[in-house]
Amino acid sequence: MEVINALGRRKTAVARVYVKNGNGSITVNKRDYKEYFPTGILQYVVEQPFMLTDNIGKYDVKINLDGGGINGQAEAARLAISRALCEIDPEYRPVLKAKGLMRRDPRMVERKKPGQPKARKKFQFSKR
């Protein structure tokens, strides 16, 4: 099997993933993913596609992450890994789709409006 690459996005984070046969090592920006994502929840998010498809320890994954925060980056990586696994074997798609891992989350930060301090917050109103 050659190297399969996929792209995942979430908020302003972009994840480029390269998957190949191996022993299950996941590298994020040339660091181990457990070092890059310190909390167990974020580590679980990155591992989730492998757990659902019973592929833990079968593929080596190299992830290049750019932009966004740590949570958006983890979810972008999850989408990219899910897309790469579907490219390897289309049979994984229904399992991943049922758990919502094949959908790009469209929620983005709303822009700040003029005449307001934030996107939705208004300046204090004074009647007199």
pLDDT digits (tens, 9 = 90+) for 24-72: 999 999 999 999 999 999 999 999 999 999 999 999 999 999 999 999 9
**Among candidates 1, 9, 5, 3, which has minimal Cα distance to 108?**
9
Instruction: Read off the tokens for 122.
Output: 């208004």
| pLDDT-based confidence at residue 1 (cuts at 50, 70, 90) | confident
* First-to-last C-alpha distance (Å) of the chain: 73
Stretch 70-90: mean pLDDT, rounded? 95
The pLDDT of residue 44 = 96
Question: What is the value of pTM for the model shown?
Answer: 0.91
**Helix-helix angle 70-88:40-52, to 10 degrees:** 10
Domains belonging to the chain, first-starting first, are 4-98 (3.30.230.10)
Contact 84, 17 (CB under 8 A): yes
d(CA 9, CA 14): 5
